[in-house]
Structure 1
Amino acid sequence: MLATPGTLPSAAVEDGWAFEVKQDGQRAVIYLPGDGTILVRARSGTDITSAYPELLPLAAVLGGRPAVLDGEIVALDEQGRSDFERLQQRMGLALSPAKAARVAARLPAHLMLFDVVHFDGRLLTGLPWAERRGLLEDLGLDGPAWSTPAAITGHGAEAWETVWAAGLEGLLCKRRDSRYIPGARSKSWLKVKVHRLADVVIGGWVPGRGRLTGLPGAVLVGERRDGQLHYAGSVGTGWSQAERTRLAELLHVAAIDTCPFAQVPPVTGARWVLPRLVGEVQYTSRTRAGRLRHPSWHRLRPDLAHDGLG
């Protein structure tokens, strides 16, 4: 079952909703046949069991009682937050168990469990979320490489403030009476992402194609530190056609021949501009190198226009 992008349920109805921290990892369904084995499948259906050897002991936790569990595999940073950039080093190792074991020793993964859809011979998908959640909590699945994170009922605004302050990705909001519908993207489950704002300097752009021929397909942006412009990523969404056309005019006027960034970005076909245009962008988080993740254009900031001279 998949969540639909949405907004936080209002205070008037929030008592009918539960709120969980949105994890930034790899969705997985865990099959425990009850015979001492375990099968972990990715959202695509691919068998990824061998990629996560630290989950193998979970096979024996429920004894002979078979179960199918739903959760998210994450890699945690020093503050205990899910870090997708770390997890990427673990993904794709299912075909190399020996390498997976070596990487796991220095970069452990953790399974965050949030649903149970089959247990002890009983299909649970027809039960409301609240009953399934109660059954999951009764299983007591908290171990060295797996846990059942908290879910709270109501208090959506407080939950939102908490994830914002902690630098987390967002919230999953689930109707307490919702049934589990495999494969469906349901409005009974909503994902609400935290979007942060940053002021960035445009240092280049990449021409668009097709209907965007002659217009910027993306702008290359940076942030000033120590008197230099450091590349922070490319932004290719968030404009209206009129805004993109206006930006194209400004970029052509500001054209220069040399790259204004401290290090040339690894972008093919880039065109450079005098770094004087400042824009405000939305983003979800940053990579370890300081790049913006999932950036989207918000607005031009002429009040912050830079002279481009350092």
Structure 2
Amino acid sequence: MFIPPMLPVEHPHPFDDERYIFEPLIDGHRLILAMEKGVVRLFTRHGRDITDQYPELHPVPVLDNSDIVLDGEACCIDPVTGKIDRDAALDRCKLTKPLSIREASVRNPAHYIVFDILRYRGRDVRSLALSERKKLLGEVLEANRSISPAVGVEYSGVALFEALRSNGLGGVVAKRKTSEYVGGAKDPSWLIVPDYDYTVVQIAGYRKHRFGWLVKHRDRIAGVLEHGIPSAHQNAFLGVSRKLATHEDRDFVYVDPAIHARVRHRKWTRDGLLRKPEFVDFVV
């Protein structure tokens, strides 16, 4: 059974509040796990069935093997750095050949961090307060090598944010203890506080068929910037880009990278690209 996941609203800064539970922001692959009569199915946040891509997550450590629906994040741990490798988790869902999937599950196994329970023994528990759902989750789910409940703290959102930042992790999620689970929509009862990096990039081109600026950092392609750019800034760049154009191909018009912009982003990919970049302003 697929249930659309509850989505957080972004918050600008960490905070302390006794009404909230604070959890690490896991930079992985959001999954809904449903088990019925011992059969496990895995769904992306958009409802795509990717059960076959994560065979190591099928043994679910529920004490009585009861029917259950869980919400969590699948992640892979880099064996060298010990940090979460978001790219590895997303790469896993793209594999289709059984042998490749099996090899990946052994070489770089995923771990499913469970932060909510939505159904149990045929009962929909989404209307329970988060604190009650957390208690139920702790009672019915044991940890094994591939699945474990999320760790959270009460009140101390700032301290947790700073501790995660010092370890290069991505921020915190703040959840009201009294919140019900509202699937398929953003709800202010859950707040995401990302730890952004800020970088100055050069605009090296623009897409021909849909909006997006090709950007460089230290003379290397760093991705496509398409979010957070006001229409006035888009028009201002378009007005000067014709004079800066150097050549083009099927997808891009390339320009002299004379215009710089400041962006915020969620760290970097393993390929040296900006992760989820957003425009802040032009740099003069």
Candidates 17, 20, 24, aligned match of 1:17: 20
Structure 1 portions without partners, runs of 5+: 210-216, 260-266, 303-310
What does residue range 70-219 of structure 1 map to in structure 2 within 5 Å?
70-78=71-79, 79-93=81-95, 96-120=97-121, 122-139=123-140, 141-207=142-208, 217-219=211-213
Identity of aligned pairs, percent?
A: 28
* Highest RCO, 1 vs 2 (Cα 8 Å, sep ≥ 6): 2
Contact 2:113/2:147, CA 8 A, preserved across alignment: yes
Structure 1 SS opposite 2:151: coil
Distance 1:219 1:119, change over 3 A: closer
- Is 1:31 equivalent to 2:34 in the alignment? yes
1:258-290 C-alpha deviation (Å, 9 max, x unpaired): x9xxxxxxx744233333322211111211111
Count of paired positions: 279
RMSD: 2.7
Matched with 1:306 is: none
- Report deviation, 1:184: 4.0
Counterparts of 2:109 and 2:65, CA distance in 1: 27
TM-score normalized with structure 2 length: 0.84
Q: CA deviation at 1:92?
A: 4.1
Instruction: Indicate how the Cα distance of structure 1 residues 122 and 26 shifts in structure 2: closer, same or farther if over 3 A, else same.
Output: same
Which residue of structure 1 lines up, in the alignment, with residue 233 of structure 2?
243
Question: Is 1:221 paired with 2:215?
Answer: yes
Cα distance in 1 for residues equivalent to 2:49 and 2:251: 39
- The alpha carbon displacement at 1:146 in A equals 1.2
| Partner Cα separation in structure 2 for residue 164 and residue 8 of structure 1 | 15
Q: Is the 8 A contact 1:232 1:290 kept in 2?
A: yes
Is 1:288 the counterpart of 2:282? The answer is no
Indicate whether 1:7 and 2:1 are aligned. no
Unaligned runs of 5+ in 2: none
Larger radius of gyration: 1
Q: Shift of residue 176 of structure 1?
A: 0.3
| Deviation for aligned residue 1:61 | 4.5
In the alignment, the residues of structure 1 paired with residue 133 and residue 107 of structure 2 have an alpha-carbon distance, to the nearest angstrom, of 35
**Structure 1 residue 116, shift from structure 2 partner:** 1.8
Distance 1:8 1:200 in 2: 23
